[in-house]
Amino acid sequence: MVSPLILVNLKTYHEGMGQNAHRIAAAAETVGRESGVVIGIAPVFTEIRPMSQHYAIPVYAQHIDAITPGAHTGHILPEEVRAAGAHGTLINHSERRLTLADIDACVQASRRLRLESVVCTNNDSTSAAAAALRPDYVAIEPPELIGSGVSVSKADPGIIERSVNAVRAVNPDVRVLTGAGIQSGECVKIAVDLGTSGVLLASSVVKADDPEAVLRDLVSLI
């Protein structure tokens, strides 16, 4: 059985930068090694190389742009993300939305560069549309619950089940993550029991006084 993925997005929280980011990465490495659960992190771009070099965990970019090498000042080049050591990338996060054409181009670039692609969506219809693009993961996150402290697993388990079914109907090879308000092992267990392959989360780990303790709780029931 493939391990569920716990993917921690550090966003641009102060608590997820510098030495704080390394503390979270070290905790992810420790808990992942002890539990056998895959725990990845998505740090700010400048941390991708040091994180990928210093910790035995999968490191994800928070975003890539649908560009190729050339005159694209200020954009995030997928080739450079891969060269920095990233294992994968988020695409179309609710805080960094893209057009459908750009999502498609980013998924294709990820596939070409062997970056694991995680396309974020906000409902079952967009999850089905994303699945048609053949990413590695679709991550369903109702935007109204992101950062709310209210878990999607408890507040709206139906959207998880509908999204899993919608994705599988389009492409059964695409795995599903869920996010928004995930904060405990119970939340993760509900999500996995509903057919997902793990969770995408942020503040409950990043802003915690003891990130390692939170991670241990998250993996405790799977």
User: What CATH number should be reported for the domain holding residue 66?
Assistant: 3.20.20.70
Q: What's the whole-number mean pLDDT along residues 52-77?
A: 96
pLDDT at 181: 73
pLDDT (mean) for 35-45: 97
Where residue 35 falls among pLDDT bands split at 50, 70, 90? Answer: very high
Which is the catalytic residue, given 34, 141, 144, 161?
Answer: 141
Q: Which helix (H) or strand (E) holds 39?
A: strand 38-42
Residue 93 designated active-site: yes
Q: Which residues pair with 117 in a beta bridge?
A: 89
* 222 marked among binding-site residues: no
Helix (H) or strand (E) holding 8: strand 5-9
In angstroms, how far is CA 132 from the centroid of its own chain? 19
Section 72-87 average pLDDT: 97
Res. 144 pLDDT band, cuts 50 70 90 = low
Residue 202 annotated as binding site? yes
Average pLDDT over residues 33-48: 96
Write phi, then psi, for 169 (nearest 5 degrees).
-65, -30
Average pLDDT, integer, range 133-160: 77
At residue 167 the predicted structure's pLDDT band, cuts being 50, 70 and 90, is: very high
Q: In which region does residue 113 sit, left (phi positive, over 0), alpha (psi from -120 to 50) or beta (all else)?
A: alpha
pLDDT band at 158 (very low <50, low <70, confident <90, very high): confident
Is the pLDDT at 20 greater than 80, yes or no? yes
pLDDT band at 62 (very low <50, low <70, confident <90, very high): very high
9 assigned to a ligand binding site: yes
Mean pLDDT of 92-96: 94
b/e per residue, 133-153, with b = 16+ CB within 10 A? bbbbbbbbbbeebbeeebbbb
| 32-41, 56-65, 180-189: the lowest-pLDDT one | 180-189
CB count in 10 Å sphere of residue 38: 18
Calpha distance 58→186 (Å, rounded): 24
- Domain extent, residue 89, equals 5-218
Is the pLDDT at 1 greater than 60, yes or no? no
pTM recorded for the entire structure: 0.94
Do the Cβ atoms of 197 and 2 come closer than 8 Å?
yes
The number of beta carbons lying within 10 Å of the beta carbon of residue 172 is 9
Total of domains in the chain: 1
Closest CA to 200 of 158, 153, 167, 135: 153
Q: For this structure, is 141 an active site residue?
A: yes
DSSP annotation of 59 reads B
Q: Per the annotation, does 10 bind a ligand? A: yes
C-alpha angle 77/83/89, rounded to 5°? 60
The catalytic position among 93, 116, 144, 212 is 93
